[in-house]
Amino acid sequence: MADSTASAQPPSAHPADRPVYVIGAGPGGLAVAQALRARGLRAVVLERADHVGASWRRHYDRLRLHTTRRLSALPGLKMPRRFGRWPARDDVVRYLEKYADVHKLEIVTGVEVFRVERSPDGSGWTLHASGGRELTGAAVVVATGYNHTPRVPDWPGRSTFTGEFRHAAEYRNAAPYAGRDVLVVGVGNTGAEIAVDLVEGGAARVRLSVRTAPHIVRRSTAGWPTQYNGVLARHLPAGLVDRLARPLTRISTPDLSAHGLPRPEGGLLTRAAEGAIPVQDVGLIDAVRRGRVEVVAAVEGFEDGKVLLADGTRTAPDAVIAATGYLRGLEGLVGHLGVLDPRGRPSARGARTPPDAPGLYFTGFTNPISGMLRELAIDASRIAGAVAKRQAGRVSRLPG
């Protein structure tokens, strides 16, 4: 198991004897730490929670990867065959724990990093962390995760709603909603899957509020995972992929226009690049066709204790679950360094560092159609290679 008592600072603060600090012990952070260790470089992972994979532990119970076991493993350790083709949430958590243990990663839990700054001598980075810690590293890898801070739109009148209101981050299973009327807001993969879970778990009525119709794809077709198409399309022109995807989608998925969910306007890869990842069907199509999930208009606000929809209708569900996404939450950590774009995302990712912040790396802040875990594994190797090339002379090396 990971060492939660490891020292967060090397014995010497000499510029040639500093570790690489990795912020976050999720899949991205662990993969980078392993890749650095494989090159003989010391990496210290700082995790604010008490365990690795904290965000995975908080996901809803029924979650399974939409990516295959084979293409979701991190460098240096395969996922066990017993996980099946689509590993479950708890299997992923167990895998991350074993990964940290097998690779003897140096992980310090219960430490939250609040701010990253250039070190006074300009040769590295200083991390300001909980407990008054000030840690200096030769390089820093930020791997705090794509789903960091729950995002709830600033809907007018929300405080007047008299029913239960939760962000999807708080949803675990359908048991508390049995026999109740529930409105799920947002039709990304999370919203779609929660809506299906509610139906199967006995909710009396489930409505799904949709602002923009998504691309819906089968998780696999005739045994061929959709992820494989994403991998093949990763480096093709977006326009070409959009044209190829259109007839394939029409063949594999039915038209749900009569049920309030028309085919989307934009191309699949073009919209994915803008952040609108295709919804992988795990029962939504069937639930919508059978009327078990009712598609309704977007939420515009709340009024007199009711939900106001974009088509002018008002509804009073027992509960609202906002599957409205997440923010990266990087502003306080690195926003002052000028390394974020207008949407709060890192301006450089993977092996590239921002021009004015050499030695500062970011991983896990995109959600590619080829699979996030697969891309995290690729990023880890590239980041370790970049550190070995650019900062190796300043990074403390492992014994032997």
Residues 6 or more apart in contact with residue 63 via CB below 8 angstroms: 88, 89, 193
**What mean pLDDT value characterizes the chain?**
93
Predicted confidence (pLDDT) at residue 111 exceeds the cutoff of 50:
yes
Query: What CATH class does 151-322 carry?
Result: alpha beta
Predicted confidence (pLDDT) at residue 203 exceeds the cutoff of 60:
yes
Write out pLDDT tens, residues 117-142: 999 988 899 999 999 999 999 999 99
> Is CATH 3.40.50.300 the classification given to domain 20-148+328-394?
no
User: Measured on CA atoms in the order 369, 362, 70, 4, is the torsion positive or negative?
Assistant: negative
Write out pLDDT tens, residues 335-369: 999 999 999 999 999 999 999 999 999 999 988 89
CB 37 within 8 A of CB 340: no
Predicted confidence (pLDDT) at residue 3 exceeds the cutoff of 90:
no
The answer to whether the predicted template modeling score (pTM) of the entire model surpasses 0.85 is yes
Predicted confidence (pLDDT) at residue 8 exceeds the cutoff of 70:
no
Write out pLDDT tens, residues 220-256: 988 899 999 999 988 889 899 999 898 988 888 999 9
Q: What percent of the chain has pLDDT above 70?
A: 96
- Partners of 321 in beta bridges: 166, 184
Predicted confidence (pLDDT) at residue 46 exceeds the cutoff of 80:
yes
Within this chain, domains 20-148+328-394 and 151-322 share the same CATH topology: yes
pLDDT for residue 293: 98
More confident residue, 393 or 298: 298
Rounded to 10 deg, the angle between the 27-38 and 372-390 helix axes is: 40
User: Domain residues of the chain, as ranges?
Assistant: 20-148+328-394, 151-322
Task: Please report the DSSP string for 190-207 in residue order.
Answer: HHHHHHHHHHHTT-SEEE
